[in-house]
A and B are shown apart, each in its own frame.
With several copies, the nearest count.
Chain A
């Protein structure tokens, strides 16, 4: 199919315990149209055992796991925040 040739680039960032578990702070990955935040998480976390709650933000806004990614999006995965 024609549109399966479309490749989008996104930046994925990790923080706190999730960054520790994955072993990096950020990476660029290629995705195809139709990919959700949940799809990205399943992919990047497939080799780790992370059982805690995962928060997800796209372009610095909290989103839910059904969020449909766009080209050049910055997606971030992190545990619940503990500042202040």
Chain B
């Protein structure tokens, strides 16, 4: 498992190549890898976004990502996984988050990557502040976020 909070632009595929080279060379039981990459769009809620500030809660972020990955690893028999998340100032088309999981069979990797992304979006302490022509604004959470989140 590898988690990294990154404060500068990164190449997600290059990160995968490097991680695979160093960690996964001999894992011949791996049959599937599912990857999700989230990148910054230049439009949100109908407005042009010039740039975005990604704030997070250091320490809690890492411990929460670890918790999310642990849970999916057990549930879906994941062999290995990585989560990379950008913080700081990002501009359109910049990578924001990369989640990758490796498993024996495809169902497990597909479902684990998806669940990690959903949990990350609703639980990991990151916040986005957009810069638009009308000024700065904090991004509103997705409407499907659970109401009792603070009681988890």
Interface residues of A (CB under 8 A from B): 13, 15-17, 20, 54-57, 60, 62-65, 76, 78-84
Chain B interface, >50% SS class: mixed
**If the complex has contacts A13-B57, A60-B59, A84-B121, are A55 and B149 also in contact, measured as CB distance less than 8 A?**
yes
B149 lies within 8 A of A62 (CB): yes
Point out the residue from A15, A17, A81 that lies within 8 Å of B123, measured CB to CB. A81
A80 lies within 8 A of B63 (CB): no
A80 lies within 8 A of B149 (CB): yes
B125 lies within 8 A of A15 (CB): yes
Bound: A80/B128 CA distance, A: 11
Interface residues of B (CB under 8 A from A): 38, 54-57, 59-60, 63-64, 85, 96-97, 117, 120-129, 138-142, 145, 149-152
Q: What are 18 contact pairs spanning A and B, CB under 8 A?
A: A15-B125, A15-B127, A16-B138, A62-B123, A62-B152, A64-B151, A80-B141, A80-B145, A81-B126, A81-B127, A82-B128, A82-B142, A83-B54, A83-B96, A83-B97, A83-B124, A83-B127, A84-B124
Q: Which 8 residue pairs are nearest across A and B when measured between Cβ atoms?
A: A83-B126, A16-B127, A60-B60, A80-B141, A84-B121, A82-B139, A64-B151, A17-B138
CB distance from B10 to the nearest CB of A (A): 15
Point out the residue from A20, A55, A64, A84 that lies within 8 Å of B96, measured CB to CB. A84
Q: B85 contacts which chain A residues (CB < 8 A)?
A: 83-84
